[in-house]
């Protein structure tokens, strides 16, 4: 069994009982990890390094080592339970492990100042903005593990919690078992549930394109879960009745509105244009309309664009 103390001593070449965060990362010898997990490791270290000197002690390294060990065990269990499919690291488990890295008071609470200090060191600007926005929405300057997990779960993280629920459906659709599903596989699956009108085929294609983050015309598990939730919304909007064009546009509107503000801004619309390869003339027309609307459009204007 690897001793974190011995690992620390090997890394600490100058014997000053301190190692850098970069050295700490190299000291955790695991097989090749995906980008998501490496980011998790970095975030753990940023929390542990509470004095912001980019160095940690042996005691702190042992804490880091223990947290990564727990996380790796979670990943191993995932691989055992879900073979041939890459499951995202559960967001709630990740947040619980983050919380364990903070120094808590006697009540097991941390302060918003501690969270803000961590946030300011995070490299990912999108994650940083999300954390600081969530902080502003908190009604207290302290939080326990439960509140921390509730407040700081990201939209994508929330979606990831649904992944196990859709595993069997994903496997059923993934006919070639390559861990991804394409439009043909999805349409085949849907056609077994109900007859798909021709106008809805275009809708499903657009939805898949909007959710396909890497542009390979296939959906991984997380993207597929988003697709399933979008489909659920479609049926919710129709209330069990006939699915109309407006219902489909409502789903598209939600997907284009990435930040969930209820309005589509220029950046979101430009992304939509690029995904659908919208002709130049159409883009210019929409840009002019958006300019007249103050740079954002609501659902009624979005619907008008499709009229």
35's tokens: 């980008």
The CATH superfamily of 163-305 is EF-hand (1.10.238.10)
pLDDT confidence of residue 296: 92
pLDDT confidence of residue 264: 93
Domains 4-153 and 163-305 agree in fold: yes
Q: Which range is most confident: 88-97, 171-180, 199-208, 295-304?
A: 295-304
Q: How many angstroms separate the CA atoms of 120 and 290, rounded?
A: 34
Q: Using one digit for the tens of pLDDT, what is the confidence trace for 148-160?
A: 998 888 777 777 6
Q: Does position 73 have pLDDT exceeding 70, yes or no? A: yes
pLDDT category at 300 given cuts 50, 70, 90 is very high
For the domain spanning 4-153, the CATH number is: 1.10.238
Q: Which residues pair with 110 in a beta bridge?
A: 143
> Which one has a higher pLDDT value, 192 or 163?
192
Pick from 135, 276, 290, 138: which is nearest to 212 by CA?
276
Average pLDDT over all residues of the chain: 86
Q: How many angstroms separate the CA atoms of 288 and 211, rounded?
A: 27
pLDDT confidence of residue 299: 93
pLDDT category at 115 given cuts 50, 70, 90 is very high
| pTM check: above 0.75 | no
Question: Exposure of 162 by Cβ count < 10 A (0-12 exposed, 13-18 middle, 19+ buried)?
Answer: middle
Phi and psi at residue 173, to the nearest 5°: -80, -35
Q: Does position 96 have pLDDT exceeding 90, yes or no? A: yes
Q: Using one digit for the tens of pLDDT, what is the confidence trace for 27-47?
A: 886 555 567 788 899 999 999
pLDDT confidence of residue 173: 85
Residues listed for the chain: 307
* H-assigned helices in 82-123: 91-101, 112-119
* Segments making up each domain of the chain, as ranges: 4-153, 163-305
pLDDT confidence of residue 91: 84
């Amino acid at each position: 069994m690897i001793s974190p103390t011995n690992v620390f001593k090997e890394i600490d070449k100058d014997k000053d009982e301190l190692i850098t965060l970069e050295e700490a990362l190299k000291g955790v010898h695991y097989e090749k990890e995906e980008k998501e997990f490496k980011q998790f490791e970095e975030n753990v270290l940023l929390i542990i390094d509470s004095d912001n000197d980019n160095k940690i002690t042996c005691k702190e390294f042992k804490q880091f080592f223990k947290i990564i060990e727990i996380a790796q065990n979670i990943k191993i269990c995932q691989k055992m339970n879900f073979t041939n499919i890459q499951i995202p690291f559960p967001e709630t488990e990740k947040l619980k492990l983050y919380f364990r890295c903070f120094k808590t008071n006697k009540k097991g609470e941390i302060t918003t100042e501690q969270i803000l200090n961590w946030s300011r060191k995070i490299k990912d600007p999108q994650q940083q903005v999300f954390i600081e926005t969530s902080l502003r929405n908190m009604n207290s300057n302290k939080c326990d593990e439960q509140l921390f997990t509730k407040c700081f779960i990201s939209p994508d993280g929330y979606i990831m919690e649904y992944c196990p629920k859709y595993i069997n459906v994903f496997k059923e659709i993934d006919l070639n078992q390559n861990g991804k599903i394409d439009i043909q596989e999805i349409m085949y699956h849907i056609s077994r549930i109900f007859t798909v009108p021709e106008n809805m085929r275009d809708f499903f294609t657009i939805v898949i394109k909007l959710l396909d983050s890497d542009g390979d015309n296939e959906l991984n598990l997380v993207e597929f879960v988003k697709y399933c939730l979008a489909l659920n919304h479609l049926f919710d909007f129709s209330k069990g009745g006939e699915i109309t064009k407006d219902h489909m546009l409502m789903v598209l509107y939600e997907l284009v509105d990435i930040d969930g503000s209820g309005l589509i801004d220029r950046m979101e619309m430009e992304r939509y244009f690029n995904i659908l390869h919208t002709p130049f003339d159409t883009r210019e027309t929409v840009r002019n309309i958006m300019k007249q609307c103050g740079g954002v459009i609501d659902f009624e204007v979005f619907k008008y664009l499709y009229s």
